[in-house]
Amino acid sequence: MQSTYRSAFKLTPNRVRFTALFAPAEGVSNSHFKKYWLQEHGKKFMSLDIAKKNLTKYEQFHVNNDLSENLAAAMGASPRGRSLWGMAIFEAESWDKILEVFSHPEYQRVVYPDEKVIIDRSRTQVFAGEFATLLEKSRLRA
């Protein structure tokens, strides 16, 4: 495993990230949320040509609440509770490219309505910003 440490701290040029933290829709179990989001909703999102064209990265972060609480206690932090079950991370070369994905008619027609199956949009939290990579380990894949 190769490790790269960046001694010159600066924001990463030509890359921006948008994240959304999701709370489950009423009556959705944690196992259904995880399975549907990864296997069904993720496929619908990745079926969009505009997403494949404009995004450089799309990741799903599935929250482990028990582990989160244990780590919060170990760090002397307060856990945020069990209300957020997932975080989507979208990366692109510009804000225009990210906005184009979410305003695209296919996203509005296919993906947006599907979110209601598992997500309570009224409790979704969104964050947009630049980032700096301070340490990155690359793994060789077979």
pLDDT of residue 142: 59
SS3 string, 61-102, reads EECCHHHHHHHHHHHCCCCCCCCCCEEEEEEECCHHHHHHHH
* pLDDT of residue 3 exceeding 80: no
Fold of 14-128: Alpha-Beta Plaits (3.30.70)
The more confidently predicted of residues 76 and 39 is: 39
CA gap 107, 45 in Å, rounded: 8
The confidence score (pLDDT) of residue 78 equals 79
> Is 79 a residue whose pLDDT tops 80?
no
For residue 17, the SS3 value is strand
User: Domain segments of the chain: what residues?
Assistant: 14-128
Q: How much is the pLDDT for 1?
A: 58
What's the predicted TM-score (pTM) here?
0.85
Does 6 have pLDDT greater than 60? no
